[in-house]
Amino acid sequence: MYIIKIEYANRLGRLPKYIFAAIEELKEQKKKEGMDLISLGIGDPDLPTPNVIIEELIKQVKLPENQNYPSSMGEQEFREAIAKWNKIRYGINLNPSTEVSHVLGGKEGVANIARAFINPGDLVLCPNPGYPVYENGATKLCDGEPYLMPLKKENNFLPEIEAIDKEVLKKAKLIYLNYPNNPTGAIVPRDYLKKMIDFAEDYNFIIVYDNPYSEFTYGNYIAPSILQFSLDHVEINSASKMFNMTGFRCGWIAGNAEIIEGLRKVKSQIDSGGSIFIQKALIKGLNEYTSQKKPEIVAETMRIYEKRRDVLVNGLNKMGWKTEKPKATFYIWTQIPEGEENSMEFTKKLINVGVIITPGIGFGRYGERFVRFALTKSVERINEALERIEKIIN
Ligand SMILES: Cc1ncc(COP(=O)(O)O)c(C=O)c1O
């Protein structure tokens, strides 16, 4: 026991228990019991970072000039590569000095941007179900108020902005939008983005477009950037999913220079940026893009996920669990079978047979009655998981 009496700040009391932590506890217990677990829970790619990036990293890390403090806004060379990528990928012209900045992964950018714009009590429009950082790490830790926008299946998991009270919209400072979407796998029509931009102009709020799954698309579908329709807002993306680099913590924000300046002010007081050698290695990956079409290092990954998606979704449907194939992301979002109590209890049942998924409630209250599978295991393991699931369902 400590002698000092520890009192956490009130804002910590507003945070929910991180759902993945609860799942971790259960998982640990099963592991201790010696159970073979198939984890389709957390969205962390099991595939390796492409060789071109790793080889460049090894070269860059050896150079003494890459071993010092970086700048929190990112190296000029890195920002130029991001601007160039945006030009090739989306046809957008960005000034690398002011309209691009480095973030330590999308999560850091999503959370810290709120510190630049949210005063205590300010409203932030958050999709629900959604990436929990919008509501918690960003809004609540800035003493802001999340306003939950339900993502309903009948609306293709798009928030119904017209249905939100005008007085709420007037008070909103910022909205988080994320398509291709985690956890629902939904994509966004271009007209919807235009409509959202019109609302943002009418009510004067900032759109933070969180786009880490921009490259995780299937077939001919190409995900848009919000910056293709307006440079008034910002978009956050990262190397995490694009190049299987979750552990490298390297991403970027692009768009409105004034918004980015706010984030830079915050970050310059908090972090000293991301390793220069990582930024330089990532440039190699980005330079593989010669058109908006995915380069082979990304296309290869997506062929693997597509196969897994098809095996899992076909398998679930075959056992009578109606599930749709997403056009993007490596997530399968599906309603729990009829008669099941709720998403958490159903998830526990699956953990008891060694299959780990994420209960929809972990993404917010409007995620209840859904669960999310992440396609982060091989086809063989997915087939094994299906066999185990069938025992529960039938
Ligand atoms: C919607 C969404 N935004 C942001 C992130 C953050 O990714 P990273 O910080 O690794 O770039 C994730 C990661 O899963 C995500 O799903």
Task: Look at residue 213 and tell me whether its pLDDT is greater than 70.
Answer: yes
Q: What's the predicted TM-score (pTM) here?
A: 0.96
Query: How many Å lie between the centroid of ligand 1 and the Cα of residue 216?
Result: 13
Task: Please check whether residues 20 and 116 belong to one and the same domain.
Answer: no
Which atom of ligand 1 has the smallest separation from the CA of 108?
Answer: 9
Percent of the chain with pLDDT over 90: 95
Task: Please check whether residues 30 and 84 belong to one and the same domain.
Answer: no
| Rounded average pLDDT over 55-62 | 98
Are 115 and 262 in contact by the 8 Å Cβ rule? The answer is no
State which amino acid sits at residue 103. V
Task: Look at residue 19 and tell me whether its pLDDT is greater than 70.
Answer: no
Task: Please check whether residues 306 and 266 belong to one and the same domain.
Answer: no
Are 317 and 323 in contact by the 8 Å Cβ rule? The answer is yes
**pLDDT number for residue 137:** 95
Are 138 and 114 in contact by the 8 Å Cβ rule? The answer is yes
Confidence of residue 73 (pLDDT cuts 50, 70, 90): very high
| Rounded average pLDDT over 199-219 | 98
Task: Please check whether residues 348 and 219 belong to one and the same domain.
Answer: no
Task: Look at residue 226 and tell me whether its pLDDT is greater than 80.
Answer: yes
Q: In what order do the strands lie in the sheet with 123-128?
A: 100-103, 251-255, 234-238, 206-210, 172-177, 123-128, 145-150
Domain final residue pick, 286, 310, 327: 286
Are 359 and 346 in contact by the 8 Å Cβ rule? The answer is yes
Task: Please check whether residues 19 and 157 belong to one and the same domain.
Answer: no
Query: How many Å lie between the centroid of ligand 1 and the Cα of residue 4?
Result: 37
Residue 206 domain flag: yes
Task: Look at residue 25 and tell me whether its pLDDT is greater than 90.
Answer: no
Task: Please check whether residues 268 and 384 belong to one and the same domain.
Answer: no
Percent of the chain with pLDDT over 70: 99
Residue 231 domain flag: yes
**pLDDT number for residue 24:** 80
Query: How many Å lie between the centroid of ligand 1 and the Cα of residue 341?
Result: 29
Task: Please check whether residues 300 and 366 belong to one and the same domain.
Answer: yes
| Rounded average pLDDT over 85-89 | 98
Domain final residue pick, 265, 286, 307: 286
Task: Please check whether residues 86 and 165 belong to one and the same domain.
Answer: yes
- Mean pLDDT of the residues in the chain: 96
Residues with CB under 6 A from ligand 1: 43, 105-107, 110, 131, 178, 182, 210, 212, 238, 240, 246, 251
Task: Please check whether residues 102 and 204 belong to one and the same domain.
Answer: yes
| Rounded average pLDDT over 28-45 | 93
User: Which domain, by its residues, includes 175?
Assistant: 51-286
Q: What is the per-residue pLDDT across 127-145, written as a single tens digit (0 to 9) for each?
A: 999 999 999 999 999 999 9
Q: What is the per-residue pLDDT across 155-194, written as a single tens digit (0 to 9) for each?
A: 999 999 999 999 999 999 999 999 999 999 999 999 999 9
Domain final residue pick, 286, 321, 342: 286
Q: What is the per-residue pLDDT across 339-350, written as a single tens digit (0 to 9) for each?
A: 999 999 999 999
Structural domain count of the chain: 2
Q: Residues 79, 135, 252, CA angle at the centre, nearest 5°?
A: 5
Residue 57 domain flag: yes
CATH of residue 322: 3.90.1150.10
Task: Please check whether residues 138 and 248 belong to one and the same domain.
Answer: yes
Residue 3 domain flag: no
Look-up: residue for tokens 């970027």?
252
Task: Look at residue 370 and tell me whether its pLDDT is greater than 70.
Answer: yes
Cα-atom radius of gyration of the chain, to the nearest Å?
21
DSSP run (H or E) holding 77:
helix 76-90
CATH of residue 88: 3.40.640.10
* Counts for the chain of helices (H) and strands (E), in that order: 13, 12
